[in-house]
Amino acid sequence: MAMSADQEKVIAELHAGVKAAPANDVANDRSQLLLVLEAVDAVKGSKSAEQSKAIEELRANVKGGASVVANSRATLLAVFDCLESLRAEPKKSEPKV
Amino acid sequence: MATTAPITGLDAKLYYNSGTHASPTWVLIADAIDASSSIATTMVEIASRASNYGGNLPGLVKFSGTFTLLHTLGSNSVITALTGMSTGRTAKEFAFMDQLIATTGSKGMRFFAYIESMELGAGLEEGEAWDISLASAFAIESSAKVDPDWYVVS
């Protein structure tokens, strides 16, 4: 399902915030991290082993607990990179029936 | 007597936000030493000849904070970020939390601030450390004013 403009804005702001963070660990709002996962799941395409691992790590981290979730910055950057590369992939045309 | 667990400053955590207020990315300032945050209200004295008793009404409420930060040699990304905020006259959001921010029930003062001063102390027999003072900022984000807050992680 396509993201709304507001949701895309949240994802862009999160990405910028994580990129600007200097530390190894960062903490973000769970609801916004779930939005990133939703965006990744909505795009078809091939992921590298590192990207798949990062996505699963993020998925595990957002389960349960507080409304703020700590993650490694590297994990989040790998997920954002994955999202960007999947979205940039040229879509194959639908097979003709 | 406290009926809930007390906590030491050692376990309290200080953060700044490298993202936005709406989409925060909290960065732990791991090398903070002492930290304190405060809410102060200006008292406006109301007095007239009609009464022998003066009294106050609350004026502006201001959040502020101070902390000391261990200085280290070589690359230190947090010090770089903080000195950048200071020389760049940039307001950032800070959170003085009583435990890790990703813990349910963690609470503390969350507010945009300018670095009012940061002084690097190099006492003869002390670890070099920064003495940093934060003044609450008039912060606008996405055309809306962002006020200081007592933040409780749910």
Q: What is the pLDDT of residue B82?
A: 96
Residue A91 has pLDDT above 70, yes or no: no
Pairwise CB contact (< 8 Å): A17 & B19: yes
**Residue closest to A62 by CA, chosen among A50, A79, A47:** A79
Nearest Cβ partner for B22 among A13, A27, A67: A13
Nearest Cβ partner for A20 among B18, B103, B106: B18
Beta strands in B47-91 (DSSP E): 55-70
Query: Is the ipTM beyond the 0.90 threshold?
Result: no
Residue of B nearest to A36 (CA): B23
Pairwise CB contact (< 8 Å): A14 & B23: yes
Q: Of all residues in chain B, what percent carry a pLDDT higher than 90?
A: 96
Are residues A16 and B19 in contact, defined by beta-carbon separation less than 8 angstroms? yes
Sign of CA dihedral B7, B111, B92, B20: positive
Pairwise CB contact (< 8 Å): A28 & B81: no
- pLDDT, tens digit, 9 for 90 and up, residues B7-53: 999 999 999 999 999 999 999 999 999 999 999 999 999 999 999 99
Pairwise CB contact (< 8 Å): B19 & A28: yes
Average model confidence (pLDDT) for chain A?
Answer: 90
User: Mind telling me how many Å the CA of A57 is from chain B's nearest CA?
Assistant: 16
Q: Which residues of chain A neighbour B80 with C-beta distances below 8 Å? A: 22
Residue type, A62: V
Are residues B35 and B66 in contact, defined by beta-carbon separation less than 8 angstroms? yes
Beta strands in chain B (DSSP E): 13-17, 25-28, 32-46, 55-70, 92-97, 107-121, 129-136, 139-141, 144-146, 149-152
Give the residue, A3 or B100, on which the prediction is more confident. B100
Count of CB atoms situated within 10 Å of the CB of B58: 9
Contacts of A87 by beta carbon, 8 Å cutoff, 6+ apart: A43
Q: What is the pLDDT of residue A66?
A: 85
Cβ of A18 under 8 Å from any chain B Cβ?
Answer: yes
User: Mind telling me how many Å the CA of A89 is from chain B's nearest CA?
Assistant: 27
What span, in angstroms and rounded, lies between the C-alpha atoms of A77 and A37? 13
Output b/e per residue, A27-62; b: 16+ Cβ within 10 A: bbbbebbebbeebbeebeeebeeebeebbebbeebb
Residue of B nearest to A24 (CA): B27
Count of CB atoms situated within 10 Å of the CB of B120: 13
Residue type, B131: D
β-pair type (B92-97, B139-141): unpaired
Beta strands in A1-97 (DSSP E): 25-29, 68-72
Q: What is the dihedral of CA A84, A37, A1, A80, to 10 degrees?
A: -10
* This prediction's pTM: 0.91
Number of CB pairs, chain A paired with chain B, less than 8 A apart? 80
Cβ of A46 under 8 Å from any chain B Cβ?
Answer: no
The helices-and-strands tally (H runs, E runs) of chain A is 4, 2
